[in-house]
């Protein structure tokens, strides 16, 4: 089955930039989506199709992809950005949806 690899945790000081990576085999040919889950809440879509943002998501959150690695970048990090972030793709070979293990972002 298809596997997405994320770092378990990322720590960042307020005002700095956090980068969360997501890797997978042949990821360059797939669309990558990102979800934010704050403590005690359900997930929220923050980036879709590698780099597009739903309405209401601040520009400080941005997505990119290079080769087999996708990156969610959070600029000018705020305390409210502390959350778990999950990447997700659709694996066409199995017609299954796959999530990464999630990355916990801690604001120092």
Interface residue list for another protein (CB under 8 A): 1, 31, 33, 35, 37, 41-45, 48-49, 54, 84, 86, 88-90, 95-102
Nearer to another protein, 37 or 68 (CB): 37
Minimum separation from the CB atom of position 107 to another protein (A): 20
- For residues 3 and 96, the answer to whether their CB atoms sit within 8 Å is no
Minimum separation from the CB atom of position 44 to another protein (A): 7
CA distance 4 to 28: 12
Nearer to another protein, 43 or 60 (CB): 43
Minimum separation from the CB atom of position 14 to another protein (A): 26
Nearer to another protein, 45 or 108 (CB): 45
CB proximity list for 19: less than 8 A, separation 6 or greater:
10, 71, 72, 73, 74
Q: Is 14 exposed, middle or buried (0-12, 13-18, 19+ CB in 10 A)?
A: exposed
């Amino acid at each position: 089955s298809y596997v997405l690899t994320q770092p378990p945790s990322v720590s960042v000081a307020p005002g700095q930039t956090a980068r969360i990576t997501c890797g997978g085999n042949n990821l360059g040919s797939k669309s990558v989506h990102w979800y934010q889950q704050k403590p005690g809440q359900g997930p929220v879509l923050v980036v879709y199709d590698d780099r597009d943002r739903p309405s209401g998501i601040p520009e400080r959150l941005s997505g990119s992809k290079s080769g087999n690695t996708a990156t969610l970048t959070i600029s000018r990090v705020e305390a409210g950005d502390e959350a778990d972030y999950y990447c997700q793709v659709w694996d066409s070979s199995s017609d299954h949806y796959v999530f990464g293990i999630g990355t916990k972002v801690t604001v120092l």
